Amino acid sequence: MTGIDDLPIRDELRGKTPYGAPQLDVPVQLNTNENPYELPAALVARIAERVAEAARTLNRYPDRDAVELRTQLAAYLTRTGKHPVARENVWAANGSNEVIQQLLQTFGGPGRTALGFEPSYSMHALISRGTGTGWISGPRREDFTIDVEAAEQAIAENAPDVVFITSPNNPTGTAVEAETVLALYEAAQAAKPSLVIVDEAYVEFSHRDSLLPLIEGRPNMVVSRTMSKAFGAAGLRLGYLAAHPAVVDAVQLVRLPYH
């Protein structure tokens, strides 16, 4: 009987199992951090109206650049992030996981490495593996905060091509100070020009302001977001990033058409 490992798959995938949290039929699913409450009836009705409008044009391919969506996301970030963001600074994808995948396809890949401070969001390492990017586990203190000096040393020693910083961190809930992010960004640029990805999937729950303003003047910094958590729209599969327009142009080199 033929199994996965009998196929000519990549060596680093042998012996692995697909990622997936158990899909349980329970009121509160803490393993996936889903909002347990249904969407308001008025919102469901409005979505149904918009889907009906879109259905009339399903004989055509959609706007591959998602101009209307990116424009609205930029407006939301400008209102809430205390930093002006234009459509050219925003890219949207099939959940923030696809955002991360596209970034790793563009800036990572075979012969390149990514570094993250664990424990953290497990998909950073898994998507790195899936894109052929080597994964490096960086240090944390016992209280799960980032030891800046130790982190800087890890970056200097490994010279990763991509650095992940998660704020608030998943699963520990700890937010990262702006000064820490800036220090690690400078360390990453000194080691080699590296992309620094600030994962803000849970930022709407944080008592700290978004780190979005830090992208100003830093073309190698990206802030990623999702609609799955605070907006209770996990099934919508919408994630997005904010960065220098050149980063937005770069990820379109690897995105699937009409993704």
pLDDT at 20: 75
Reported confidence tier of residue 258, pLDDT bands at 50, 70, 90: confident
Residues forming beta bridges with residue 115, ordered by sequence position? 136, 163
pLDDT at 77: 97
pLDDT at 240: 98
Mean of pLDDT values over 96-114 = 97
Task: Assess whether pLDDT exceeds 90 at residue 30.
Answer: no
Reported confidence tier of residue 45, pLDDT bands at 50, 70, 90: very high
Separation in Å, CA 34 to CA 30, 132, 212, 228: 7, 30, 24, 7
* Residue among 177, 256, 239, 234 nearest 35 (CA): 234
> Domain for residue 8, yes or no?
no
> Domain for residue 147, yes or no?
yes
Q: Which domain holds residue 183?
A: 63-251
> Domain for residue 28, yes or no?
no
Buried b (16+ CB within 10 A) or exposed e, 100-132: bbbbbbbbbbeebbbbbbbebbebbbbbbbbbb
Residues forming beta bridges with residue 136, ordered by sequence position? 115
d(CA 99, CA 200): 12
> Domain for residue 6, yes or no?
no
Mean of pLDDT values over 152-156 = 98
> Domain for residue 33, yes or no?
no
> Domain for residue 22, yes or no?
no
Report the CATH number at residue 206.
3.40.640.10
DSSP 8-state assignment for residue 94: S
pTM: 0.94
Task: Assess whether pLDDT exceeds 90 at residue 18.
Answer: no
pLDDT in tens, 205-232: 998 899 999 999 999 999 999 999 999 9
State how many domains the chain has: 1
> Domain for residue 145, yes or no?
yes
> Domain for residue 43, yes or no?
no
pLDDT in tens, 67-104: 999 999 999 999 998 899 999 999 999 999 999 999 99
pLDDT in tens, 184-194: 999 999 999 99
